[in-house]
Amino acid sequence: MKILHTSDWHLGRSLYGRKRYEEFAAFLDWLVGIIEDEGIDVLLVAGDVFDSSTPGNRAQELYYRFLCRVANSCCRHVVVIAGNHDSPSFLNAPKELLRALNVHVIGAVTENPEDEVLVIDDSGFENADSAEESRQMDIFESKIKNQKSSIICAVPYLRDRDVRTVEPGETIDDKNRKLVEGIKEHYARVVEIAEQKRDELLKRQAVRTQKSAIKNQPSAIPIIAMGHLFTAGGRTVEGDGVRELYVGSLAHVGKEIFPSSIDYLALGHLHVHQAVGGAEHIRYSGSPIPMGYGEANQQKSVVIADFGCEKSNSHSKIINQKSKITLLPIPCFQPLERIVGSLEDIQARLEELKRAESRAWLEIEYTGREVIGNLRDLLDESLAGTAMEVRRIRNRRLMERVMSTIGEDEALDDLDAQEVFTRCLDAFDVPQEEREELKGTYDEVVRDLLEEDRDAE
């Protein structure tokens, strides 16, 4: 069983107003090729398929076209879970139709945790009689030598309301503790069901083996879990768009909350590929393209976990021989370049990029001493006739002069929701002893707004 783990596509995302559909299309084309080249059996998409709960037509077209292409490839199953950016009901709407393509979509938790447990068993033998049994036994004997079975715990993004009951008089610490406990209990329930299904499947396979001419014992069946959450110690970078899942909360979960029977845990939400707490089998794949200039120099990747297959193409670099986990680097489809410095430094770097015939999208921050009011005109003149684009200019000196004279002109984009609320408290001289309760209430209002599924009835 060979799985490919990816996440955080954020289809439809723009960069300072510049649409990025060509990048997304190039990545998905590349991914289809890798699935064929590597002989991938199962594709896991660990949340944040779209950047918005109401994705545009082009983003949807990219998604559905990709799923159709994968359905016609060697990949036999695709499992998609919702992230915090996704609308659960939007993802779930076509799930019955997609199931015909062996695309399994889990948009939200249900009352029955068994709905999140998928049994993948392609050994081919069903209980049948006489001639039909004989025919299926022949199929089984041909497949059991390279048996490909697994149990997948497809746990979507767990919203606050999914894992925690609100009680009056709770402190922030109480909320954080209950959030972590709720996530832990949910994974425990789902994985317990997976263990039961694995044991049942092993028993059935043992019976099949005894009936067949093959004397080998059934191979181990891996339990593969998915999730979209923020783990303790997880690395982020400036401008990556990763937001706190639980507003005003420090509820980052540790690797110890996950059951030890999980053979591989495919996580989404953080855009930097990384292992969790040194455990190589608990991993974030990271986003496939840089979501901001803080990620511009990262080598993006997808993760391949190989359970029992001996073949491996030279594309991959093995990072954990015991568990056969590999990182596969993703090509850069659109270069991003951040230039910081004086006007001379900026122009010198632009000349280097022009000689290299770069097509980068640029973020430029001027930090020189002089105030330059026509910085944009100077940069446009320098870039005339090139394929480069300036996506953002930060003129620090001009900004400092303006801010020193007219404080109210501060850009709202430079503040987050918490900072705006704090400014309001300051403006109305709210006493410190009253602020904690007000902030807690405000946090819950913001959280409810962020988690509202606008596509639900």
User: What proportion of the chain, given as a percentage, has pLDDT over 70?
Assistant: 78
Going from the C-alpha of 232 to that of each of 165, 180, 224, 229, 270, the distances in angstroms are: 23, 11, 21, 10, 11
pTM: 0.80
**CATH code assigned at 181:** 3.60.21.10
Check residues 65 and 207 and name the one with the higher pLDDT.
Answer: 65
Is 248's pLDDT higher than 50?
A: no
| Domain with 166 in it | 2-329
Q: Strands 14-15 and 2-6: what pairing?
A: unpaired
Is 126's pLDDT higher than 50?
A: no
Q: What is the pLDDT of residue 213?
A: 53
Indicate whether 439 and 298 sit together in one domain.
no
- Asked if 117 contacts 153 with a C-beta cutoff of 8 angstroms, the reply is yes
Indicate whether 399 and 350 sit together in one domain.
yes
Q: What is the pLDDT of residue 11?
A: 97
Q: Express each pLDDT in 259-294 by its tens digit.
A: 999 999 999 999 999 999 888 999 999 999 999 998
Is 351's pLDDT higher than 60?
A: yes
Indicate whether 65 and 89 sit together in one domain.
yes
Q: Express each pLDDT in 55-65 by its tens digit.
A: 999 999 999 99
Q: What is the pLDDT of residue 405?
A: 47
**CATH code assigned at 355:** 3.30.160.720
Question: Among 291, 306, 329, where does a domain finish?
Answer: 329
Is 96's pLDDT higher than 90?
A: yes
DSSP 411-436: -GGGS-HHHHHHHHHHHTT--HHHHH
Looking at the 3D structure of the chain, how many domains does it have?
3
Block residue for tokens 């001289």: 429
Check residues 115 and 373 and name the one with the higher pLDDT.
Answer: 115
Question: Residue 424 is which amino acid?
Answer: C
Check residues 384 and 401 and name the one with the higher pLDDT.
Answer: 384
Q: With residue 201 as reference, give the H or E element that holds it.
A: helix 172-211
Mean pLDDT across 41-51? 96
Q: In this predicted structure, which of 157-166, 226-235, 436-445 has the lowest mean pLDDT?
A: 436-445
Indicate whether 450 and 402 sit together in one domain.
no
Instruction: Please tell me the distance from the alpha carbon of residue 418 to that of residue 36, in angstroms, as a whole number.
Output: 46
Indicate whether 209 and 232 sit together in one domain.
yes
Indicate whether 85 and 138 sit together in one domain.
yes
Instruction: Please tell me the distance from the alpha carbon of residue 14 to that of residue 307, in angstroms, as a whole number.
Output: 37
Indicate whether 109 and 185 sit together in one domain.
yes
Q: Express each pLDDT in 173-192 by its tens digit.
A: 788 888 889 999 999 999 99
CA 48 to chain CA centroid, Å, is: 5
Contacts 24+ apart (CB under 8 A), 140-143: 140/208, 140/212, 141/212, 141/213, 141/214
Q: Report DSSP state, residue 50.
A: B
Question: Among 329, 356, 380, where does a domain finish?
Answer: 329
Q: What is the pLDDT of residue 418?
A: 74
Indicate whether 218 and 277 sit together in one domain.
yes
Q: Express each pLDDT in 70-92 by its tens digit.
A: 999 999 999 999 999 999 999 99
Q: In this predicted structure, which of 106-110, 228-232, 312-316, 356-360 has the lowest mean pLDDT?
A: 312-316
Instruction: Please tell me the distance from the alpha carbon of residue 286 to that of residue 416, in angstroms, as a whole number.
Output: 24
Mean pLDDT across 295-300? 91
Indicate whether 15 and 164 sit together in one domain.
yes
Q: What is the pLDDT of residue 127?
A: 37
Instruction: Please tell me the distance from the alpha carbon of residue 157 to that of residue 226, in angstroms, as a whole number.
Output: 10
Q: What is the pLDDT of residue 247?
A: 43
Check residues 210 and 178 and name the one with the higher pLDDT.
Answer: 178
Q: In this predicted structure, which of 14-18, 221-225, 251-255 has the lowest mean pLDDT?
A: 251-255
Is 93's pLDDT higher than 70?
A: yes
Question: Among 329, 353, 387, where does a domain finish?
Answer: 329
Q: What is the pLDDT of residue 129?
A: 43
DSSP 220-233: P--EEEEEE--BTT
Q: What is the pLDDT of residue 434?
A: 76
Q: Which two tokens stand for residue 31?
A: 């991914």
Q: In this predicted structure, which of 23-37, 132-146, 328-342, 437-451 has the lowest mean pLDDT?
A: 132-146
Indicate whether 401 and 380 sit together in one domain.
yes
Indicate whether 125 and 266 sit together in one domain.
yes
Q: What is the pLDDT of residue 205?
A: 75
Indicate whether 383 and 423 sit together in one domain.
no
